[in-house]
Structures are given as C-alpha cells and as structure tokens.
Amino acid sequence: MLIPLVALPSSSEDVVLEERVSLLTEIHRLSLLGPCLLSLLQSSDLGSALDLIMECLSNKYELHLEGLNVDQDELATRLLDKGLRVVYFAQASSEEEELQRRVLQSLPRSRVGLVITIGSFDDIAKEQEKVRDAVQTSRAFVSYFLIKLDGGKQDEGELVNSMVAFVKSLIAPPEADGESIHVCLSLPSFLSDAAVATRVGTAVPESIHAVFAPAPICASPSSSSAAAKIDFLSAYIGALRSDRPDGLFTTVVCDEYGVCLGLVYSNQESIRVAVSEARGVYWSRSRGGLWRKGETSGMHQELLSVRVDCDGDALRFSVVQHGEPPAFCHLMTRTCWGNVTGIQHLQAILQGRKKSAPAGSYTKRLFDDPDLLRQKLLEEVQELIEATEPDHIAAEAADVMYFLLTRCVAAGVSVREIEAHLDARSLKVTRRPGNAKEWRTQAAKELLAGAGADAGASGVGAVPPP
C-alpha cells in the first residue's frame, strides 16, 4: 500500500484561509485512495494543527498521525475517540521506556504505531538489527511500525532491495504470539520517485507500506511537478495490474452502502480525472474516451473512495449516486441488476412519500403528525421487547424500522448518516458504562400508557401500507 505523508503547517501564521482550504482539499483527494499520514513534526502551533486534524476527522477521512510523544497519551486517546485510525508515538528514550510500555499497553494494539529512525546507512546490517530488536520488544502491543530512512544517499536499488527484504523478514508469520504487524517505510527525498514508491508499496501489499511526500494531485501529471515530491497518482496507478489485452482495469461501482451498482472500466487517464474532480469518471470502450457519469443524463456521481482489490487487478469505486431518480443503469433502475431491496428500498419509498404522497398515505399522516409518530415508535419498541418467537421478533423489528426511518426521513436524515455514527462509535477507545436511564424509562412508560389508550380508541394496530 502507498501512504501519502502530509506535513501540517509549522504555525498558524503560515496558513491563510485560502491555503488552509487548499490543504484540506488535497487531503480529501489523497484520502479517496486510502489512508493518509499527517505529520506534526514541523508544527510549532499544536492548537492550530489540531483544529485542522479535527476538521479532517469530522469528514471521516482515514487518517494516521505521527509526531506525538509518549507523554501525550491523553491527547492521543481523544483523537482515537474522534476516529483517528492509527497514532504513531516517537520512540522513547531509555528513561521513558517504562512509561512508553504502559501507554502502549493502555491503547488498542491495532490503533497504535511506533516510529523507528535509521540515521545512517554506513552499516545497514547493524541498523536493521536495532530495528528488529525494537520491533520484537514492542510487537505484542503495537501493530504499526514507521521506519524512517533518514541517512545519507546510497545506491537506490541496493537500499530498496535490502530494506524490502528486511521488512519481509519482520512481517513473516509470527510464532507464539500470533500478532501480525504492518511496516511503513518512509522514503527519504533521494528516493522520491514514483517507481520506487510503487516497488516498495507492492512488495507485500497488505503488510508493507511506502510512505512519502506527494506532489499535489491533478488530472495532468506534467503540471504536478515539485521538488522532492512523488506524483502520487503515478505511483498508485503503477501498482495496478491488468490482465486485459486493452490494459483497462475492471471497475466495480458501489454506492455508499456497499451495494454494487454496475461494472465499468478505468484506465490511467480516467483514474486521474476521477480523483482530481472527486466524481465518477470512467473509460468508455464504445466511445474510446472519458465517460463522466451523468454528464448528459444528470445522473452524476460523487466519489467517496477508490480501492484496489487484493490482487491489484481490479478497482472498486464507492460513490453517491445522484439524479431523479438516483439511477445508475440506463434503464433507470438503481443498479444494472434491477432496484434495491430491504432498508434502502424502504428509505427510497419514504423519501418519495415526503416529496409527494398518494391519497390516504399512512406515511404522509405520520409526517404531518409528529406526536402520532412518536407514540407509534414507542409502542412498536415495546412490542419488540415483548416478542419471544424469532419470526415475531423479526416482524416487530420491521415495524420499528419503518417508524424509525420515517422519523429520520422526516428530519432529513439518511441511513448513511446513521451508519456513519455507528462506524465512528466502533472506533472509540474509551467506553461509557451504558446503564439504563431511569427517568427515560419512566417517561416511556407514561407515553406508552397514553399511546395504548389512543390506539384502543382509534383502532390503530399493525403497520398499514406506507
């Protein structure tokens, strides 16, 4: 895997509003292709840097962060709670080794990294032995190791081959502990070449990662030249493999829920434009050119992410499909295999009812009567609690889901937003006890008592058609 490194500004004075927006835009584009490593090492204004980090985390980017010391564990915990995927601590001095061990053991192993620096290549074997000792000492409570190659210039091919072979030996199947690790090689400026980054990043794709400072992403590689920076898209595309005679990459297009919308094809040009414009752009075999989805039909796509499969020969574009209706297929269905079912189908019906509802629509009645909706939701939750047989539980859960989604759609909330909260909570490292709130329980009982009386008077029972 290839991981771009973005150095946060050295001070707040260095970043005017326009530059801040530009930096956030670039982080967004880089995050479309996978995790992004932010660095605090050059930042003297921690408060300003944290503001930018929090803004990135609020956008749900998959971020790693380096530059924290081991005594900043409370800050690290706060950031992990907000969705930071991995925090890298600087390697502690001998006086802080015990503190480092306690801090690392207090955090989830899968979310913690350690920075190890190779300062000289004069005796690379000796340096590698030091790295091996540090990894073996820490791997029981650290999942990620960021190895920085900061020494003087050396033969490129010899160094890359030596380090890749060394890292492969580090990630070899563990023995008794059964703990696998990820090793990130931070490439120095003299190795700032897309081909080198690709070579490292594809050595063992799931476990060895090439970290480097990328040049700004744009549709044309010739316009993104910058000293000591790698054209990230060239490196990313260079890692792909095609088994087709035309060299195209098979591309599965999925929506924000992971539902497959259709199958298309991409090439180097279309990938560049798609990431640069953050929209669904593919290669049309019939027209022999770029296909900007929705350019003529209006069914355009907002690009959420691009991911490579485990073999490196196929892509998955995750998109938000827009349009009226939001259809991917030319037959005006949501997918090329027909329309969706289940929760997505229910959400689409409810959203349609909110815009325009047929006469006698029960959903329309609920939209117009929030008090009735509230009482019905409480009533159905109680019935779910009381159900005992599996099919009855499933039926009552379906009723709850209908009223729950009606409440959400009425407020303009989508299933995607609900799932985003669930995903964010799964990343928290601190936990609350989760005890029942007695005052909430009492309030629900009082509302249910009133809802029962109203239902008896009106004859409202099972959920009618929407």
Domain match, 7 and 88 both: yes
CATH label of the domain that carries residue 425:
1.10.287.1080
My answer on whether 364 and 400 are in the same domain is: yes
Give one word for 258, left, alpha or beta, with left for phi > 0 and alpha for psi -120 to 50: left
Domain end marker among 238, 268, 290: 238
Residue 228 has pLDDT above 80, yes or no: no
> With 70 as the cut, is the pLDDT of residue 12 above it?
no
Specify whether 306 is located in the same domain as 368: no
C-alpha to C-alpha distance for 271 and 232, rounded to whole angstroms: 12
Please, which pLDDT band fits residue 364 given cuts at 50, 70 and 90?
Answer: very high
Task: Check residue 229 and give its pLDDT.
Answer: 67
Residues 90 and 224 grouped into a single domain? yes
CA dist list (Å): 371 to 365, 377, 400? 11, 10, 16
* pLDDT, tens only, 308-326: 987 788 999 999 999 988 9
**Same domain membership, residue 283 and residue 219:** no
pLDDT for position 65: 95
Q: Determine the number of helices (DSSP H) and then strands (DSSP E) in the chain.
A: 15, 14
Quote the pLDDT of residue 409: 95
Same domain, yes or no: 356 and 207: no
Please give the sequence-ordered ranges of beta strands (E in DSSP) within 69-143, or none if there are none.
86-90, 112-118
Give CA separation, 162 vs 172, 205, 368, 381, in Å: 16, 17, 69, 61
User: Is 332 part of a structural domain of the chain?
Assistant: no
Question: Any idea which residue has 């050396």 for tokens?
Answer: 154
Give the residue-averaged pLDDT of 365-391.
93
Does 226 score more than 50 pLDDT?
no
Is the backbone peptide bond immediately before 325 cis, with ω within 30 degrees of 0? Answer: yes
Yes or no: say if 63 and 28 are a contact pair by the CB < 8 Å rule: no
Average pLDDT over the chain, rounded to whole?
Answer: 84
In this predicted structure, which of 121-135, 170-184, 259-273, 294-308 has the lowest mean pLDDT? Answer: 170-184
- Whether 65 is covered by a domain: the verdict is yes
Tally of structural domains, the chain: 3
Domain assignment present for 278: yes
Token pair of 338 as six digits: 């027909």
Same domain, 156 and 275: no
Confidence band, pLDDT 50/70/90 cuts, at residue 459: very low
443 in a domain, yes or no? yes
Same domain, 154 and 198: yes
Domain range spanning residue 434? 342-458
**Residue 295 neighbours by CB distance under 10 Å:** 12
Domain boundary among 211, 238, 265: 238
The pLDDT of residue 372 is above 60: yes
Residue 71 has pLDDT above 70, yes or no: yes
State how far the Cα of 258 lies from the Cα of 26, in Å rounded to an integer: 25
In a domain, 405, yes or no: yes
Specify the higher pLDDT residue, 445 or 204: 445
In a domain, 328, yes or no: no
**For residue 279, what is the domain's CATH number?**
3.10.20.810
pLDDT score recorded for residue 457: 47
Q: Domain check: are 361 and 419 in the same one?
A: yes
Please tell me the pTM assigned to this model. Answer: 0.82
DSSP code of residue 206: T
Minimal CA–CA distance to 215: which of 234, 195, 239?
Answer: 234
Do both 179 and 31 map to the same domain? yes
Residue 157 within a domain: yes
Q: Which of 289, 125, 310 is nearest to 207 (CA)?
A: 310
Distance from chain centroid for Cα 75: 21
**Has residue 327 been placed in a domain?**
no
pLDDT above 70 for 193: no
Contact 282, 266 (CB under 8 A): yes
User: How confident is the model at residue 83, as a pLDDT?
Assistant: 94
CB 212 within 8 A of CB 4: yes
Task: Check whether 227 has a pLDDT greater than 50.
Answer: no
Does 377 share its domain with 265?
no
> For residue 227, what is the domain's CATH number?
3.20.20.70
Q: Which of 203, 238, 273 is the last residue of a domain?
A: 238
From the number of C-beta atoms within 10 Å of its C-beta (0-12, 13-18, 19+), residue 287 rates as: exposed
Alpha helices in 302-389 (DSSP H): 342-355, 362-368, 370-386
β-bridge partners, 305: 318
Both 352 and 402 in a single domain? yes
